[in-house]
Amino acid sequence: MSRSTIALLLLLLCACKNKKQGSTQTAVKPYPVIVLQPKNATINADYPATIQGIQNIEIRPKIDGYVDAIYIDEGATVKKGQLLFRISAPQYEQNVNTAQANIKIAVADVNAAQMQLNKVKPLVEKDIISAYELEAAAYNLQSKQAALAQAQAALNNAKTNLSYTTIYSPADGVVGILPYKIGSLVNSTTPNPLTTVSNITQIYAYFSINERQGLDFFLASKGATMQEKLATLPPVTLVLANGIVLPRKGRVETASGLINPSTGALNMRATFSNPDGLVRSGSSAIVRIPQPIDTALLVPQKATFQIQGKLFVYVLDADNKVRSVDIGSNASAAGQSFVVQHGVKAGDKIVVDGISNLREDLVISPRLVNADSVYNSL
């Protein structure tokens, strides 16, 4: 083979190799795309909340004495009227005994005054003694009757004080901590209560929204008064600290009439049913309020990526080139999608999968898929 022939073969071989490489570099890959269309959607607004039972009753002694007996334990469930504590205060028993003795004395005095009146009355009628004696006897009887009434009131007061030595639960609920043990000296001015009984069959979730959110919130709500607007709000959910959603939905029932000047926040309260006692007073949670949107543009989360806290999607232009667009959304709709705030419009095509392989101005082969099927699969 001549040198010219070998050179020609090498030239042809290089040309074929370059042609093959060029065809590989210009290969266009297919990507699934959807056409954005307005849809009905619901976004969830989450607000940190603190939980309180509908009743948090501090149990405090009304008398001075020593804790003689404790009939419950911390965390126990109690019923209204159930015995909780007994306070040792013998002086109140003695006060009852003294008051009872005073009543007997007062009764005897009344009887003696009545006898004196009965004795004087016929003598006055026969003009044996003056009417002054009868009048004096009548006043003496009234005085003794008043003393008897006073003694009866003292007995009632002594019995009331004695009743304070036994403390009963004022409501159904759950017992809190027991800071004082048997033998502790307690009185009405003791800093800490004997315990707290929390009625948690229903719970209050207290949360705050800022002034701007409050204005948007109530301007968008129907009704003339605040209570009418609150009544039109949809049911809300409670997300517990471990991420579990309380099965029973609640309602936002109250909104503070004042905005806190130091924080600019409006305090609100939602009420939830809690018959199982799962949620306790003092817990932390999140109140999730749904907000329906009639014409929302939804973007699947898997079609988005973040750069410096901003959310982007790849939009397809008329030449099948992709470019990244900031959609300005941080509101998550129900499911795995975002509600678009700006950047794209109805009719735009976006890439919904495989976006990690894309770059600016890359030409792709669009494979149009049904948008509803994408949303339903999330």
Q: Which two tokens stand for residue 346?
A: 């109805």
- Residue ranges making up the domain that contains 156: 90-164
The helix (run of H) or strand (run of E) holding residue 294 is strand 284-296
CATH code (residue 312): 2.40.420.20
CATH code (residue 232): 2.40.30.170
Quote the CA–CA distance of 196 and 185 in Å, as a whole number.
18
Same-domain pairing of 209 and 288: yes
* pLDDT in the model for residue 162: 92
Cα separations in angstroms, 355 against 127, 306, 314, 326 = 124, 12, 7, 15
Is 17 part of any domain? no
Query: Following CA atoms 252, 257, 260, 266 in sequence, which dihedral angle do they give, to the nearest 10 degrees?
Result: 20
Is 8 part of any domain? no
* pLDDT in the model for residue 377: 66
Question: Structural domain tally of the chain?
Answer: 4
Q: Quick one: which of 278, 282, 254, 274 has its CA closest to 266?
A: 254
* pLDDT in the model for residue 376: 66
Is 151 part of any domain? yes
Same-domain pairing of 65 and 171: yes
Helix runs in 126-222, H state only: 131-163, 211-219
Quote the CA–CA distance of 378 and 368 in Å, as a whole number.
18
Is 21 part of any domain? no
| Burial (CB count <10 Å: 0-12, 13-18, 19+), residue 218 | middle
Same-domain pairing of 180 and 215: no
Is 134 part of any domain? yes
Reported pTM:
0.64
* pLDDT in the model for residue 335: 55
pLDDT in tens, the chain (378 residues): 555 555 445 555 555 555 444 444 457 889 999 999 888 877 788 899 999 999 889 999 999 999 999 999 998 999 999 999 999 989 989 999 999 999 999 999 999 989 988 888 888 777 777 787 888 888 888 999 999 999 999 999 999 999 999 999 999 999 999 999 999 999 988 899 999 999 999 999 999 988 887 787 777 777 778 888 888 888 999 999 998 999 999 999 988 878 878 888 889 999 999 988 889 888 999 999 887 777 788 888 888 998 888 889 999 998 999 999 998 765 665 557 888 888 888 899 999 988 888 999 899 999 998 877 777 665
Q: Quick one: which of 63, 126, 32 has its CA closest to 370?
A: 32
Q: Which two tokens stand for residue 240?
A: 């517990």
Which residue, chain included where needed, has tokens 């007996």?
Answer: 69
